[in-house]
Amino acid sequence: MKVAVVGATGLVGSEILKVLAERNFPVTELIPVASERSVGKQVEFKGKQYTVVGFDDAIKMQPNVAIFSAGGGTSLELAPKFAAAGITVVDNSSAWRMDETKKLIVPEINAHTLTLEDKIIANPNCSTIQMVVVMNPLHKKYKIKRVVVSTYQSVTGTGKAAVDQLFAEREGRTDVPAVYPHKIDLNVLPHIDVFLDNGYTKEEMKMVNETKKIMMDDSIQVTATTVRIPTIGGHSESVNIEFENDFDVEEMKQILAEEEGIILQDDPKNAIYPMPITAHGKDEVFVGRIRRDFTQPNTVNMWIVADNLRKGAATNAVQICEALAKNGLI
């Protein structure tokens, strides 16, 4: 099993290498790949050093699968070249997510739809992934009508430069270029990605459109407000879900507690609820603060947290590869 990691020196690429090692994915040969300025650098995987190669060399080395985390422009240009060489691509960028010819995969929900013909597979947006993992078993039981979500997203979602900005501000330094339009330390920015003509940001519309595609149900209505906050452990979401059918809160908690990949943390009297600081470095999605919305029927409020670099990116991508390997598709 030859595995290429494209963008291996970046924040998510480094996390992919960690997750591949931790989950013992059967890598027989690792091919770390990056742009020309990083070619020749060394990365570590399972205690060994590997030399970063360029894109053309990586294609010649014929990996079984290439996990891309190198930005949308790179993916649009290079993923088709890898695919044309018979290499299955799992792409972390937004480049292919809403392409009607490409699958958008969260393994717990729709890995069963993958076939040998799927040579470019899209990994969803981090904030969408953690929400739909929780929504899916509830949708099966109670049928979701509408979702109102407000996110509280880590600076790690923007990348290393954003983490550097946060800590430079915290230390009172001005030697680091700003990646946000305003200060992020001790602040909150209701602005992730660019604003669109409808007044929503691109990030907000990703959550709307990707949810329908992953859940394979266009009837689910989603409205989102996405917000950047000065944390690094993971993304948090306040989610209000309206169902067609009524529910019992305790039964709902039981359903979520028994679901693979979800950890229920719901004991508010003892201050037990999901937080980025405790989700950091974990692969699961954490859910708590589950309570009935008393203002309208068949509606629940909950709080969902996950490490955006793990389940929101690297772990989900590796889980896609696991599903491909299990079903003989790579």
Distance set, CA 322 to CA 19, 52, 62, 83, 302 (Å)? 12, 24, 19, 18, 30
Contact predicate 98/288, CB 8 Å: no
Q: What angle do CA 118, 129, 244 make, to 5 degrees?
A: 105
Helical H runs in 185-229? 202-215
Contacts (Cβ under 8 Å, ≥6 apart) of 16? 5, 8, 67, 69, 313, 314, 317, 318
Which structural domains are found in the chain, ordered by start?
Answer: 2-124+313-326 (3.40.50.720), 127-308 (3.30.360.10)
Report the C-alpha gap between 193 and 20 in whole angstroms: 29
pLDDT of residue 11: 87
pLDDT of residue 61: 97
3-class DSSP state of 197: coil
CA Rg, the chain, in Å? Answer: 20
Report the C-alpha gap between 321 and 330 in whole angstroms: 8
Euclidean distance between the first and the last CA atom of the chain, given in angstroms as a whole number: 8
- HSE-CB for 54 with a 13 A CA cutoff: 4
Distance set, CA 36 to CA 52, 66, 115 (Å)? 9, 18, 33
Phi, psi (degrees; rounded to nearest 5) at 80: -60, -30
Contact predicate 124/97, CB 8 Å: yes
Read off the tokens for 61. Answer: 């080395």
Residue with tokens 């689910």: 220
Distance set, CA 213 to CA 98, 292, 321 (Å)? 8, 27, 20
Question: How are the residues of the chain apportioned to helix, strand and coil, as percentages rounded to the nearest 5?
Answer: 35, 25, 40
pTM of the model: 0.95
Contact predicate 264/257, CB 8 Å: yes
Amino acid 320 reads: I
pLDDT of residue 193: 96
Provide block-wise average pLDDT over 10 residues at a time, the chain (330 residues).
Answer: 96 95 97 94 96 97 97 95 98 96 97 97 98 98 98 95 97 96 98 98 98 97 98 97 98 97 98 97 97 98 97 97 96
Cβ-defined contacts of 56-60 (< 8 Å, 24+): 58/4, 58/6, 58/31, 58/33, 58/82, 59/85, 59/87
Pairing of strands 262-264, 285-292: parallel
**pLDDT tens-digit profile of 63-91?**
999 999 998 999 999 999 999 999 999 99
Read off the tokens for 79. Answer: 């993923």
Distance set, CA 154 to CA 13, 71, 107 (Å)? 17, 18, 23
pLDDT of residue 274: 98
**Active site residue ranges:** 126, 235
**pLDDT tens-digit profile of 95-141?**
999 999 999 999 999 999 999 999 999 999 999 999 999 999 999 99
Report the C-alpha gap between 196 and 38 in whole angstroms: 34
Please count the residues of the chain.
330
Amino acid 19 reads: V
pLDDT of residue 49: 97
